[in-house]
A and B are shown apart, each in its own frame.
Chain A
């Protein structure tokens, strides 16, 4: 059994968002992190691996060469293999083109009857939640989004989906694609051994040359040219004070609040 985990390196949007004069995001000016929801997808895959010796976890991403460092971190967490799809031809892709390319990458690596693809729900930079479902469509796979629980029995998965007003339980056959949300689990850290060994682990880079014969790859469906989306403008929203939620009983929250105000010398 193979589990592909789709990951994206994203700018850390908890800091300031740097914007280019043309309105697009200046990614080089912002520190990068692994997209948080993708870590939940990775954790879900690694949990399966912990329980099944024959389970292989493959982290796959499309991005610039700098994304290699993120892939090494995923190997250090416990992934068996990393695949980075990287090439100039793929640059500037929107969700439509990206899913086309990632789907081609997965097709290239091979997808068997009992395999699965796990994605994060959405990336914190674009917040579209489109790439996962589009990959499923392009590979003609069933998909279940917003998973908070995944149980596997043979080639049947029972997935609990979190919806705004309740839950939905869905059974689906492998191969299939699941998108994961943060309530699904708590991602693990890298291990020391993993960090020390990840540089020697299997790491494939797929460039345009490697994928050009894939049926999904055509010059007008990838990269900037193959992207129907146009970004009109991106900007920093007006800064509001950072909020904070207190937890506990009313009394505890009141005490906590008073202590925090005292600490800041407000009272």
Chain B
């Protein structure tokens, strides 16, 4: 597709920001310490990146899915982890409230999240409930006054250590089997009984801490319930639909970043008396990388357009996420290959891209889950 002027302008803004602000110094520090960089997050917030897709009436910029996809793509092209910084509020953090929140909940939570003053994260996965999110065992027991007492453990919760609030899924009706009887809550992370585990040592995406979330007799008011009781699983799936699009865009950004690095290196590196780009073995790899990246990009933009047009985009989002996540890994693999031994060294950008790419076919629905979704729709 050809971007219209508004989206082309947004793309220019995102690219300019990422290329200028995501300095080598910051990227190295993120990778080395694994710690959250507040300064760059605040700078993103200042320009409205945290609220790209949040409607204007709730403090956001009121952009569409395509704008959001462009943001994640352009940021990921320079830094996959920093693309997550601006992503969460627009997808898994703010998404559930936009989807099912009451007017009061939207007014309370969305504006500070859109402005980047508060951080909202998403807690679905449990040690025993990953792809099978219906296996949720975290329990929210309703009290006679309508409030809830929550107990359980969530795992791999990205952003939990910095979060002010979290969207939490817990079983409210254990008599209902599987994915039924789960409800969605907005949880204040400062409530007594809420604690975070030690940040995980991850392969990539370092600098956006991920940890367990432990809930021990956490007392939440009735007003913390988002949407209808026992219907939370549906909300989770719909939110992940949009989230998938973001992570697909991240895959495209990573692939594009790898491609550019590989081209640069192939023209510069000389072996047998000429640049390695002059060898067909290398140039054909580049051709494959560029083709796969572009195909992934078109799937992502198309899925975004479908969503923006209000059409059913579940299938398209799954295809985009599946293809782009795999493409990111194929392209990162080849980019490292073209770099040879240097690609295995930390100093070179492709080494980090390679590690960062590996999570994309795993989080927000593995490639296999996307295949299930796609096949499920085909065989319905």
Chain A interface (Cβ < 8 Å from any Cβ of B): 69, 72-73, 76, 188-193, 195-196, 198-199, 259, 263-265
Contact = CB atoms under 8 A, between A and B. Distances in A.
B10 interface: yes
B48 A191 contact: yes
A192 B9 contact: no
B9 A189 contact: no
Given A189-B16, A189-B47, A259-B347, A196 B62 contact: yes
Contacts of A195: 6, 9-10, 13
Interface in B3-37: 5-6, 9-10, 13, 16-17
Contact of A192 (B13, B16, B269, B270): B13
Contacts of A69: 5
Nearest to A193: B61
18 contacts: A73-B9, A76-B9, A189-B17, A190-B9, A192-B48, A192-B49, A192-B61, A195-B6, A195-B13, A196-B6, A196-B10, A196-B62, A196-B67, A198-B9, A259-B347, A263-B347, A264-B268, A265-B270
> A-side binding surface: helix, strand, loop or mixed?
helix
Given A192-B67, A263-B347, A199 B6 contact: yes
> B-side binding surface: helix, strand, loop or mixed?
helix
A132 to B, nearest CB: 26
B186 interface: no
Nearest to B47: A191
Given A191-B47, A192-B49, A72 B268 contact: no
A263 B343 CA distance: 11
A191 B10 CA distance: 9
B48 A193 contact: yes
Given A188-B47, A189-B17, 19 more contacts: A76-B9, A189-B13, A189-B16, A189-B47, A190-B47, A191-B47, A191-B61, A192-B49, A192-B52, A193-B56, A195-B6, A195-B10, A195-B13, A196-B6, A196-B61, A198-B9, A259-B347, A265-B269, A265-B270
A71 to B, nearest CB: 12
B63 interface: yes
Nearest to B11: A195
A263 B347 CA distance: 9
A265 B276 CA distance: 13
Give 6 nearest A-B pairs by CB, closest first: A192-B48, A192-B61, A193-B61, A190-B13, A191-B48, A195-B9
A195 B66 CA distance: 14
A263 B350 CA distance: 14
A244 to B, nearest CB: 14
B249 to A, nearest CB: 16
Contacts of B52: 192
A192 B10 contact: yes
A196 B63 contact: yes
Nearest to B9: A195
A134 to B, nearest CB: 32
A72 B63 CA distance: 17
Interface in B42-71: 47-49, 51-52, 56, 61-63, 67
Nearest to B49: A192
A76 B14 CA distance: 13
Contacts of A191: 47-48, 61
A260 B49 CA distance: 34
Contacts of B347: 259, 263
A25 B317 CA distance: 47
Contacts of B56: 193
Contacts of B48: 191-193
A248 to B, nearest CB: 12
A259 B5 CA distance: 41
Most-contacted residue by chain B among A188, A196, A263, A264 (CB, 10 A) = A196
Contacts of B51: 192
Contacts of B268: 264
Given A259-B347, A264-B268, A265-B270, A192 B47 contact: yes
Most-contacted residue by chain A among B13, B16, B56, B269 (CB, 10 A) = B13
Contacts of B269: 265
A195 B47 CA distance: 11
A75 B270 CA distance: 47
Contacts of A196: 6, 10, 61-63, 67
B6 A192 contact: no
Contacts of B67: 192, 196
A115 B48 CA distance: 30
A72 B9 contact: yes
A257 to B, nearest CB: 14
Contacts of B62: 193, 196
A196 B49 CA distance: 12
Contacts of A264: 268
B5 to A, nearest CB: 8
Nearest to B51: A192
